[in-house]
Amino acid sequence: MHRLLLAAPFLALAAPAHAATGEAVNPWVALAYLVAGVFFILALRGLSSPSTSRTGNRFGIIGMLIAVVTTLVTHDIANIAEIGIAIFLGGIIGFTIARRIAMTAMPELVAGFHSLVGLAAVLVGWAAYLNPSAFGLNLTPDHQMMVGFLPMISPISKVEMGLGIAIGAITFSGSVIAFAKLSGRMSGSPILLPARHVINLGTLLAIVVLTGLFALAGPKETLPLIIALTVLAFFIGFLLIIPIGGADMPVVVSMLNSYSGWAAAAMGFTLGNTAMIITGALVGSSGAILSYIMCRAMNRSFISVIAGGFGADDGGGGSGEAKEQRPYKQGSAADAAFMLEQAEKVIIIPGYGMAVAQAQHALREMADLLEEKGVEVKYAIHPVAGRMPGHMNVLLAEASVPYENVFELEDINSEFAQADVAFIIGANDVVNPAAKTDKSSPIYGMPVFDVDKAKQVFFIKRSMGGVGYAGVDNEVFYMDQTMMLLSDAKKMVEEIVKALD
């Protein structure tokens, strides 16, 4: 769906001109856009399951191809050769990125895509403001009158334009911060500014006021207003994402996806482009629904995530270091291999540490060896594991893990009581019992895996020093049935594979 949204703002370059002239809409154009919308809906349906995601992507590509070709064929294009060159160059860049990007880098790639969508919305909005007649905007009755180089644009069109620019700018700057955090160019810890809530609310209120003034102002007064609106929107995008910690990044990615959709939809209304409205509304609404699902999975409100994320309270929050050193059991790869092959049922819980170590292929090899020995192996995926929605699913799919062996939290949590081994690789907060027992914990109330009910727990992590993004010590480390495997995740799993083979 991200490919669809990247292409959507391009449609505005050839937006219908009949919005201003009153010319009847070509019924074939409307039909083509409707067909494209149906393909977009089928794409979303396909993307709801890993087994149908490839088909969903194909439907999305077909739908956007129909929309783009329809716009190019049925509208006057200033220079079709230049547009063709731009499409070709963009296609080459996208193809190269898709071929080279590692699956572990997908979260920051998605954030980067969102930033491009937001920037495209801002640029299209400004282009429509500077040359509205070329975009078929709804001008005032005396639209022939020019004040300086700026024509008289109707208040409704200016409200739509202002909203599109504001949402696009917020999406761009927020996605840039998300990209920096996800790629390690910026610390994943919350960065808290003094009186940040007051600053954020004041900035958002100023954006609303500026949008209203922009809509009512005459042509001579609109330029400084739209400049101020754009600058403040870029500014609030940074402020909203900087305080959010790494534990909330899946929600942030989903939220930014929603923002980018609404930005495209707002521009679609401004330009009278049905395809943009449909595409933007689908992406915006699906992103909002996904954000709600992710928040519910963490038992958190959407507002609390935007307000600062895990461990983001002004007075505290976790430091990322264990609060105390307590006795724990440490084992070796040979110990783990021996107990794994004696087990009847093993449940694997992957987390971001697996992604960082790129251990998914070694993990799949270990699971294959266990299954050859008659061990039942299942994978348990928490909704917020990793750095974006479905991050662990994507990594396991890359390693060709069968879809039928991958289960969501609510589908497998009851099976830990019957499991011989809970194999935790790179996860932490999603298996922390403090979420159920400690009301003072920043993760209290978040549904977690009941790994403490398994007969044996293997916990792979680099060292006992770090305690996850939430900054909360984990009781699982010190349980009688837990064996800590302190090493790089990939190296440890490869050693277990050698011992099993």
Provide the pLDDT for residue 369: 95
- Checking if the pLDDT of 462 tops 60, the result is yes
Sheet with 456-461, strands from edge to edge, namely: 406-408, 376-381, 345-350, 421-425, 456-461, 482-486
Is 429 a catalytic site residue? yes
Mean pLDDT of 223-246: 88
- CATH architecture of the domain covering 333-500: 3-Layer(aba) Sandwich (3.40)
Provide the pLDDT for residue 75: 67
Task: For tokens 């006057």, name the residue.
Answer: 76
Provide the pLDDT for residue 11: 40
- Checking if the pLDDT of 62 tops 60, the result is yes
- Burial class of residue 76, CB neighbours in 10 A (0-12, 13-18, 19+): exposed
Provide the pLDDT for residue 226: 93
Provide the pLDDT for residue 324: 55
Which range, of 48-52, 277-281, 352-356, averages the lowest pLDDT?
48-52
Q: Which of 248, 429, 450, 452 is catalytic?
A: 429
- Checking if the pLDDT of 260 tops 50, the result is yes
Amino acid identity, position 348: I
pLDDT digits (tens, 9 = 90+) for 73-117: 876 666 778 888 888 998 899 889 888 887 767 788 888 888 888
Q: Strand 150-151 and strand 146-147: pairing?
A: antiparallel
Mean pLDDT of 32-37: 89
Provide the pLDDT for residue 467: 59
pLDDT digits (tens, 9 = 90+) for 137-171: 656 554 444 444 555 788 888 888 899 999 999 99
Percent of the chain's residues with pLDDT above 70: 82
**What is the CA angle 282-284-289, rounded to 5?**
95
Mean pLDDT for all residues in the chain: 81
- Checking if the pLDDT of 439 tops 90, the result is no
pLDDT digits (tens, 9 = 90+) for 371-418: 999 999 999 998 878 777 788 888 898 888 988 899 988 899 999 999
Amino acid identity, position 444: Y
Provide the pLDDT for residue 45: 87
pLDDT band per the 50, 70, 90 thresholds, residue 326: confident
- Within 8 A by CB and 6+ apart from 18, the residues are 24, 25, 136, 272
Every domain range in the chain assigned CATH 3.40.50.1220 = 333-500
Provide the pLDDT for residue 3: 40
Provide the pLDDT for residue 227: 94
User: Of 11-15, 66-70, 312-316, where does the model show the most confidence?
Assistant: 66-70
- Checking if the pLDDT of 425 tops 80, the result is yes
Rounded Cα gap, residues 374 and 480, in angstroms: 27
Provide the pLDDT for residue 137: 67
Tally Cβ neighbours within 10 Å of residue 344.
Answer: 12
Mean pLDDT of 16-43: 71
pLDDT digits (tens, 9 = 90+) for 446-455: 888 999 999 9
